[in-house]
A and B are shown apart, each in its own frame.
Chain A
Amino acid sequence: MTDLVLVLGWFGLFAPVALGAIGSSIGCARAGSAAIGAMLDTETGYGRFIGASLMPSSQVIYGIVIMFSLQRDPMTAEAAAGVFGVGVLAGVALLYVGIRQGEVLASAIVAAKAKPEIFGISLAPAAVLEGFAVFALVFALVLSGTIPG
């Protein structure tokens, strides 16, 4: 039983990185595909499109920060349950934000291609989503301080 709890602890420890990486890769791939398409249709603004498409990459960075804050040496059965709960839920949040950010960024890139003056404001929905990921990060850090070990 203790071994299973420890396994779950390690699972929760790495979950923010793994799920954040999946979210970031899907989000960046979606937004990046739109950026590549937009570059075919425009003569300028390539850097802006590629720059915007990289925005979802922050999710995996948040995941790494959460992992370090949850790390316990050694991992104990008392700490494992908390690490699992916080880690998995934070990872799911980062995964979802990464995917959705890719979608809104792809839309923003397409819109900004047709109307360059709205580029800045078109990034607002992605920035709001980023804010939700920051919430998940900050409160995961707060809770990690209360986990024993």
Chain B
Amino acid sequence: MAEGSFQYITLSASLPHLGALFSNADLPMSRFRLEERLSMLEDEDRRLLDRVTHVTSWPGVDGCDTDAEVVARFDAACRSLEAHPDLAAVVRERLETRMLVAALRLRRDGAADPAPVAAWGRMAIARAIRTNWSEPTFGLGRARPWLRAAQALCAAGDHIGLERAVLTEVYRQIDRAADDHQFDFEAVALFVMRFQLIERWQRYDATRARDRLEALLQSTLAGAWTAGNATPTGAGKAGSLSQ
């Protein structure tokens, strides 16, 4: 579909207003209905949309074994978005946000040096984290004001508060990009990203979270037994960027 095409206008106009992240109890449309509307996209656009929205959602990087693999997937998604630089910027910003939160968690869990960050590539944000490891906001608090609150929540062990702060920031990033796009591919992709965030927040379930925690504990313990009671380490593994 060409940029500014009438089909984009129809598709964008058929998508409901999502509102603020935590303002609605329910999504204004079901996933089934969303998929039905997205069927208006041409195959090539649909593949690109799936690629972008997949990598920015947690399931999209769930199967990655290492952080380097997560970064590589993001890089590949950004490369495929050469024709849509604003969307590529949102994807890159999403990875940076994920890196910052992962670094906060690593430091909270007692990592004395930024060794695991070495696997995060040569992005400026990864360099800043490595260089300013001992600073509360990695020297980025001025450019990213949300980081200060996130650091405090992380240090206090307020996981839900941290998740809320991060989702709010990601939603804000998407909103900012959406200001410049109303009836084009970017508008549709940014809508789907926002939809995913709201969907994710609404799916949070204490019972499922406990089940997942138990499953993770069991798999970790099983791994430790297999390795002769060796303590599993997270350095370079997908314990940071993909969880």
Interface residues of A (CB under 8 A from B): 29-30, 33-38, 40-41, 106-107, 109-110, 113-115
Contact, CB under 8 Å: A35 / B6: no
| Residues of B with C-beta under 8 A to A113 | 13, 17
Interface majority SS (helix, strand, loop, mixed), chain A: helix
Count class of interface residues, chain B? 10 to 19
Contact, CB under 8 Å: A33 / B16: no
Contact, CB under 8 Å: B13 / A38: yes
Interface residues of B (CB under 8 A from A): 6-7, 9-17, 29, 37, 182-183
Q: How far is the CA of A109 from the CA of B15 in the complex (A)?
A: 12
Q: How far is the CA of A34 from the CA of B183 in the complex (A)?
A: 9
Contact, CB under 8 Å: B10 / A34: yes
Q: How far is the CA of A97 from the CA of B21 in the complex (A)?
A: 37
Contact, CB under 8 Å: B10 / A114: no
Contact, CB under 8 Å: A40 / B37: yes
| Residues of A with C-beta under 8 A to B10 | 33-34, 36-37, 40
Contact, CB under 8 Å: A37 / B17: no
Q: How far is the CA of A52 from the CA of B13 in the complex (A)?
A: 14
Knowing A40-B37, A106-B183, A110-B182 are in contact, say whether A35-B13 is a contact too (CB < 8 A).
yes
B143 vs chain A, min Cβ distance (A) = 32
Knowing A40-B37, A106-B183, A110-B182 are in contact, say whether A33-B9 is a contact too (CB < 8 A).
yes
